[in-house]
Amino acid sequence: MIYVALLVLIAWAAISVLELLTPFGKLWKEARNGTLTPTFEIPFEFVQLGAAVLAALIMCRIEKGNFASYGLPLSGAFGKNFWNGIIWGLAFVTIELCAMKALGGFSFGGLAVTGVAIAKYAALWAVGFVLVGLAEEFVFRGYAQYTLSQGIKFWPAAIVLSGIFGGLHLFNRGEGWVGALDVFTFGIFACFTLRRTGSLWFAIGFHAAGDYGESFIYSVRDSGNFAVGHLLNSSFHGPAWLTGGTIGPEGSVLVFGVFALAFLLFAWMYPSNAATSRGTSPSKANATAP
């Protein structure tokens, strides 16, 4: 509870300063109406990440803990697991949308931007969605997951925090229960990758690439939001259960089939190894391995 209070207080103070010094308030209003811009997303996610990390550092000092135990060891920063997550995230959204196209629910369309604008928005959204991955994964599966696991064990903590993660998405424009359940499922998958790899870096890469693939590359709605500067003039056809409707692909029932495949494939490619569990010693990890 102290961590949550610190996180909210720090984020609120930083956003208040942004609103005073920049047109951030106007951009936030546009975001609530479903339109995302890099000039909003980058500072907003940077604030969230900074608040979460600063709050965790304060708690680490109070508890005399090890910051690396919260899932972000600097030794693995943007390393192999991160880039593997990038590949998996892009593959995930590509498989889902190709399946949707095969069923007549999606068309790629032509280019929406050309020339220098492609490189500009590709770079800006790459930065923005890496920050999304860092911020949201650390908030929900960093300090909070580590600390709650000490009291109620790893998987009950994962279910609680993933439930909160999915529930908060219901406040997004046009979100429904299918989309919220998809976000919950993603949270459980991210916790699974955390458990098997020992850090959040794979989940961060997966999260960032999935959002980037949806919002910029395939140019569809992501949690009901549409990105300015998207690459394609893509379009949906057919019922909402197939396309996700105004929510985007996360509202499609197809996502659960792709997640089932992802769980099975990840379990096979990343076998259980107790020594990688959350930065703990091998002896402690053996006692808590799934």
Q: Is 81 left (phi over 0), alpha (psi -120 to 50) or beta?
A: alpha
Compute CA distances 106 → 88, 103, 219, 265, whole Å.
21, 8, 11, 26
Q: List phi, psi (to 5°) of 35.
A: -115, 115
Asked if 68 and 201 count as a contact pair (C-beta separation under 8 A), the reply is no
pLDDT at 245: 87
What's the half-sphere exposure (Cβ side, CA atoms, 13 Å) at 86? 10
pLDDT at 285: 40
Crossing angle of helices 24-32 and 38-63, in 10° steps, is 100
Compute CA distances 270 → 145, 202, 203, 273, whole Å.
21, 11, 13, 8
pLDDT at 281: 35
**Considering the entire predicted model, what is its pTM?**
0.90
> 214 CB contacts (<8 Å, ≥6 apart)?
93, 220, 221, 222, 248, 249, 250
Q: What are 38-41's contacts with CB under 8 Å, separation 24+?
A: 38/121, 38/124, 38/125, 38/127, 38/128, 38/228, 38/229, 41/125, 41/128, 41/129, 41/131, 41/132
Distance of CA 260 to the CA centre of its chain: 18
User: Where do the structural domains in the chain lie, given as residue ranges?
Assistant: 2-280
Q: Tokens 């508890």, residue?
A: 63
pLDDT at 193: 97
Cα dihedral value 187, 188, 192, 198, nearest 10: 40
For residues 246 and 224, give the distance between their C-alpha atoms in angstroms, rounded to a whole number: 6
One pLDDT digit (tens) per residue for the chain, 290 residues: 999 999 999 999 998 888 887 777 776 676 667 788 998 899 999 999 999 999 999 999 999 999 999 999 988 899 999 999 999 999 999 999 999 999 999 999 999 999 999 999 999 999 999 999 999 999 999 999 999 999 999 999 999 999 999 988 877 776 778 888 999 999 999 999 999 999 999 999 999 999 999 999 999 998 888 899 999 999 999 999 999 988 889 899 999 999 999 999 999 999 987 445 444 433 344 333 33
For residues 26 and 230, give the distance between their C-alpha atoms in angstroms, rounded to a whole number: 21
> 9 CB contacts (<8 Å, ≥6 apart)?
none
Q: Tokens 């959350």, residue?
A: 278
> 203 CB contacts (<8 Å, ≥6 apart)?
85, 133, 137, 141, 189, 190, 193, 194
pLDDT at 282: 34
Asked if 38 and 166 count as a contact pair (C-beta separation under 8 A), the reply is no
pLDDT at 174: 67
